[in-house]
């Protein structure tokens, strides 16, 4: 089942986010909620930094990793 969570990231969070995503054995996409056509691989530091970090971001994935879930929950926002 595909899971989508909405988070906020600031530039200093991006490295930790990508590091958490790299440890997952499933694909993770991240996109600007405002501009859904810009979808990048969440395991790409440059891709994530290229997104507009001023708004909320949609993180979509198929899988489960406890550490990644904890990271997302710490930065998750109400929809």
Q: Are strands 39-41 and 57-61 parallel, antiparallel or unpaired?
A: unpaired
Average pLDDT over residues 53-72: 95
pLDDT band at 12 (very low <50, low <70, confident <90, very high): very high
Q: Is the pLDDT of residue 66 over 90?
A: yes
Task: Say if residues 69 and 17 touch (Cβ distance below 8 Å).
Answer: no
Task: Compute the distance between CA of residue 66 and CA of residue 45 in angstroms, rounded to an integer.
Answer: 21
Q: Is the pLDDT of residue 34 over 90?
A: no
Task: Compute the distance between CA of residue 52 and CA of residue 73 in angstroms, rounded to an integer.
Answer: 20
Task: Say if residues 16 and 72 touch (Cβ distance below 8 Å).
Answer: no
pLDDT band at 38 (very low <50, low <70, confident <90, very high): confident
Q: Is the pLDDT of residue 78 over 70?
A: no
Q: Which domains does the chain have, with CATH numbers?
A: 3-75 (3.30.1340.10)
Q: Is the pLDDT of residue 23 over 60?
A: yes
């Amino acid at each position: 089942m595909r899971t989508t969570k909405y988070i906020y990231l600031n530039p200093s969070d991006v490295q930790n986010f990508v590091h958490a995503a790299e440890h997952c054995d499933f694909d993770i996409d991240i996109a600007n909620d405002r501009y859904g056509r810009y979808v990048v691989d969440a395991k790409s530091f440059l891709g994530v930094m290229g997104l507009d970090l001023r708004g909320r971001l949609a993180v979509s994935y198929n899988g489960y990793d406890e550490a990644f879930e904890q990271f997302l929950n710490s930065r998750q926002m109400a929809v």
